[in-house]
């Protein structure tokens, strides 16, 4: 893959919508389903992923010329693990309640497919500034997915939003369960695909 010719805004929008990690690429599905039961959980994990994605992308873009092809994947893993350790310590120190709710998923960011994939297909082939915007786009795309899922599941499943009682009852407790998470992701994926088909028809 040659160095990208996209503008910084195009890179950001690409990660946010065109290649949204959850709704378009279907990557990192386990945390998307396991954590997105509330808006706050989704928000905090999304922010953590933005931090790790951006700093990992910038780090690899800086040192890409010094990475031997045979050890590129271990290098990516070590880089991601370093930044995950930083955000893990920050969350545990300043947001202990939320950190406890997210459990092991913060540390499992090391294994998130979306981060490793962007390091391999983009950051290792592009400059720091473009890698920064690609990381921002992918990170905010993941955050958008987590907030959308968390909002719907918390409201319909528990009748609350950001912990505040909105409906006064629990409409469908099923939406808090993992199975509902997969169902909801599939439904939103269908909407994304439908919008893309309609857009392509109109631009022909």
**CA 36 from centre of chain:** 11
User: 165 forms bridges with which residues in the sheet?
Assistant: 160
- Name the helix (H) or strand (E) containing 161: strand 160-161
Q: If residue 85 lies in a helix (H) or strand (E), which one and from where to where? A: helix 72-94
Q: How far apart are CA 14 and CA 177, in angstroms?
A: 30
Q: What is the pLDDT of residue 102?
A: 74
Q: What is the pLDDT of residue 167?
A: 84
CA distance 146 to 21: 10
How many Å apart are CA 28 and CA 96, to the nearest integer?
A: 24
Helix (H) / strand (E) element for 165: namely strand 164-165
The DSSP secondary-structure symbol of 43 reads H
Q: Give average pLDDT by consecutive 10-residue segment, the chain, 204 residues.
A: 80 91 87 84 90 96 92 94 92 84 79 90 93 95 93 91 84 85 91 88 79
Mean pLDDT, the chain, as a whole number? Answer: 89
The pLDDT value given to residue 83 = 95
Q: CA 78, CA 82: separation in Å to the nearest integer?
A: 6
Phi and psi, residue 161, nearest 5°: -145, 120
Cα separation, 135 vs 122, whole angstroms: 9
């Amino acid at each position: 893959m040659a160095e990208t010719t996209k503008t910084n805004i195009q890179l950001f929008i690409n990660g946010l919508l065109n290649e949204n990690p959850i709704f378009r690429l279907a990557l990192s599905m386990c945390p998307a389903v396991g954590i997105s039961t509330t808006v706050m959980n989704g928000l905090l994990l999304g922010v953590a992923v933005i931090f790790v994605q951006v700093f990992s992308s910038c780090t690899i873009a800086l040192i890409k010329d010094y990475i031997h092809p045979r050890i590129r994947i271990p290098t990516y893993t070590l880089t991601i693990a370093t930044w995950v350790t930083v955000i893990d310590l920050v969350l545990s120190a300043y947001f202990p309640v939320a950190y406890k709710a997210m459990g092991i998923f913060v540390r499992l960011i090391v294994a998130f497919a979306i981060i490793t994939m962007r390091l391999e297909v983009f950051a290792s082939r592009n400059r720091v500034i473009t890698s920064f915007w690609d990381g921002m786009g992918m990170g905010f795309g993941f955050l958008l997915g987590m907030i959308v899922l968390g909002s719907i599941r918390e409201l319909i499943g528990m009748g609350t939003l950001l912990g505040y009682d909105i409906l006064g009852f629990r409409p469908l407790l099923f939406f808090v369960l993992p199975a509902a998470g997969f169902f909801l992701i599939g439904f939103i994926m269908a909407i994304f695909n439908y919008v893309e088909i309609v857009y392509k028809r109109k631009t022909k």
